[in-house]
A = this chain, B = another copy of it.
Amino acid sequence: MAERVVPEHRRQRRRPTKNGTVLSERMIVETALRLVAQHGADALSVRRLGAALGADPSAVYRYFRNTDALLLALADEMVGRAQAGWRATGDWRTDLREIALRIHAAYLANPQVAALAAHRTTGREHETRAVESILGVLREAGFPDAEAVRIYHAFVDQALAFAALDAAALALPEPARAADERVWHAAYGKLSADTHPHVAATYPLLAADMRDSGHPFALELLLDAVGARLAAHTRG
């Protein structure tokens, strides 16, 4: 079949589909995100996407080489939405917290896509801008380059990892998700103090705490540690 995909900026002809809609990369990405948001995780199939677009499924392959390419486009779109409107305040701690929370929120808004794409490196426009922003916050805070890079890496991976973890839990098919939640009461509530003394002693606190994400607190811990290092650098 040779090469089917023509880069978006070089497209000239736009032949409408059978029922009149005119396709484009942008339109496909938006339709896919909407599709996944409205119906479950399993809704993202080329066939269903075709149906939602009012086109034959195979038409999608004129715009994306395969489903992986489509996924990367969806991922970068999410990163873009996470950054929309963000501006540095000059206070590194405020800025980093805001960035992490925005990433988390944007990913959770499309959990199905986030679960599939959070660990990918796209190198696309929105992603590179995010990297630039975070590095900027750290270097301007006063970290030497090597340390800024190490902290950047830990920080961004932690944000993405938690986003993926929480998104994956949300993206679960409903029966599995509900079952996982019940486990905290069903299994952990029944453990005996003889075999599991620490769980038994803290069970009510545990069941309550595990209902929410561990991300905000883990983020504060990371910021604490980063702050301590910064103090050491600026003192030294």
Chain A interface residues (CB < 8 Å from chain B): 68, 118-124, 128-129, 131-132, 135-136, 139, 145-146, 148-150, 152-154, 156-158, 160-162, 164-166, 168-169, 173, 176, 180-181, 183-184, 186-188, 191, 195-199, 201-202, 205-206, 209-210, 213-215, 217-218, 220-222, 224-226, 228
Name the 6 nearest CB pairs between A and B, nearest first.
A123-B187, A161-B161, A157-B214, A123-B183, A221-B225, A135-B198
Copies held by the complex: 2
A153→B217 contact, CB < 8 A = yes
CB neighbours (8 Å) of A191 from chain B are 128, 132
Name which residue of chain B comes closest to A186, CB basis.
B123
The verdict on A150 contacting B209 (CB below 8 Å), with A123-B186, A224-B228 known, is yes
CB neighbours (8 Å) of A221 from chain B are 154, 221-222, 225-226
A68, A136, A154: which has the most chain B beta carbons within 10 Å? A154
B139→A198 contact, CB < 8 A = yes
A209→B121 contact, CB < 8 A = no
B222→A121 contact, CB < 8 A = no
